[in-house]
Structures are given as C-alpha cells and as structure tokens.
Chains A and B, each alone.
Chain A
Amino acid sequence: AQKVTQAQTEISVVEKEDVTLDCVYETRDTTYYLFWYKQPPSGELVFLIRRNSFDEQNEISGRYSWNFQKSTSSFNFTITASQVVDSAVYFCALSDYQGAQKLVFGQGTRLTINP
C-alpha cells in the first residue's frame, strides 16, 4: 500500500530564514508521481510541483526547491528566505503512474512564518 509521511506537524520560523519540509513515501510501484501542494488559510489546494519517479533531478523555482532521492524515498521541499505569505499547510502526495491515479496525501506540515 502507498503511504506518505510528513513527520513535521508544525514548523515556525522567523521571516527570511530557510526552512525544509520533509516528506518520506512508501510504494511498491516502480513508477509513480510525487507532488507538493500548498493550502493557505483560505482553504484551497494550490499545486506546486509534480515529479515522476524517472526524474531525480532537483528542481528550483524562485525561492522554492525540491530534493528527490529515490534511495531514501524522500521528496523534501525547501523554502529559501521565507516570507510571511509562505505561511500555510503544505501537503506531500503520491500517486500511481497509470490506472487510478489516486492521490495519497501525507498529514501535512503547518508552516508559520513570523515577521
């Protein structure tokens, strides 16, 4: 069965600090997708990134970067120079590559950026 673990329930940092959100996953599939979503206080779920299991290249998008390591089944997310607007709950999710494409979510990490 697929499983996603976000061990950090809550993180609180001061603005401009760097912060890393951890995500560890379990799957028996050899091909799969990994995702990060952001849920601000308004409640909507905002897509941030998709990574397939073939591609272990790290990705950077502005202040956001993602580190995918198949050897440790991890897909960590780093925010550099955090801002108050980054405050939200962040979810890591996993889906199979073909077929049902159902998303399995981690428990989420509540990130608070203090001014």
Chain B
Amino acid sequence: SAVISQKPSRDICQRGTSLTIQCQVDSQVTMMFWYRQQPGQSLTLIATANQGSEATYESGFVIDKFPISRPNLTFSTLTVSNMSPEDSSIYLCSVGPTDGAGETQYFGPGTRLLVL
C-alpha cells in the first residue's frame, strides 16, 4: 500500500484563523479524499480532491470553508478557513485505489486540530 503523510500532525489554532493541511503520497494515485472525524464520532467525507479540477464536495461542506487543492497525483491540501471551536476534529486524507486489484482506501495518520 502507499505511504501517506500529513502535515501538521496536530495544531492548536485561534478562532477566526485558517489552517492548511498537507497530504503527500509516495506514489501516484487516482483518487484522494478528505474526511473529518469530530470528537468521539465517525468519519465523514468532506470532498474528493480531483487532479486538475475543482474538488467535489459532499452535502454540508462548501468550498469557501474547506478549499482544496490537488496540483498533481501525489499531493493535496485542505484548508480549514475562518475556524471556530466546532472545527476541532481529526482531519484525514485517504487515497485509492493503489493496490491495482480493487477499491481499498488507505488513510494518512491524520491531523488533530483544536480550535480555541
């Protein structure tokens, strides 16, 4: 499976600021996804990061709040804009498929965000 890294691993931010999270993969992948996991909750898909075009957002998530870039097949960024305490979550990127035999998504280590 691909090796996925995320930066930063964690951060504490002030209300009203923005944070950009980076996701780097060690091989080219077709699809990259961004998920949010609020405290004690399950994972919810924010958007699919499309290479060379705008991201596809899920219901309840908008580009102004969560702008995403995907400049190439190994890298993507997610920005959490104008943050509030409700944005405190773990943000995870995932990639897939990489195993050539199916549709398994593999996840990065996550970015733990605390907004004060």
Contact = CB atoms under 8 A, between A and B. Distances in A.
Contact of A44 (B96, B97, B110): B110
The SS class assigned to the B binding surface is: strand
Contacts of B56: 100
Interface stretch (B15-23, B65-73, B98-106): B98-106
A101 B107 contact: no
Nearest to B111: A43
A101 B103 contact: yes
Interface string B82-116: 00000000101010110000111111111010000
Interface in A5-46: 33, 35, 37, 42-45
A95 B48 CA distance: 14
A37 B105 CA distance: 10
Interface residues of A, number: 22
B42 interface: yes
Contacts of A107: 41-42
Given A35-B104, A108-B42, A101 B31 contact: yes
A97 B103 contact: yes
Nearest to B112: A43
Nearest to A97: B103
B75 interface: no
Interface in A58-97: 91, 95, 97
B57 to A, nearest CB: 12
Interface of A: 33, 35, 37, 42-45, 47, 50, 52, 91, 95, 97, 100-108
Given A47-B1, A105-B43, A106-B42, 19 more contacts: A33-B102, A35-B105, A37-B107, A43-B90, A43-B109, A43-B112, A44-B108, A44-B109, A44-B110, A45-B94, A47-B104, A91-B43, A101-B103, A102-B33, A102-B58, A103-B94, A105-B44, A107-B41, A108-B42
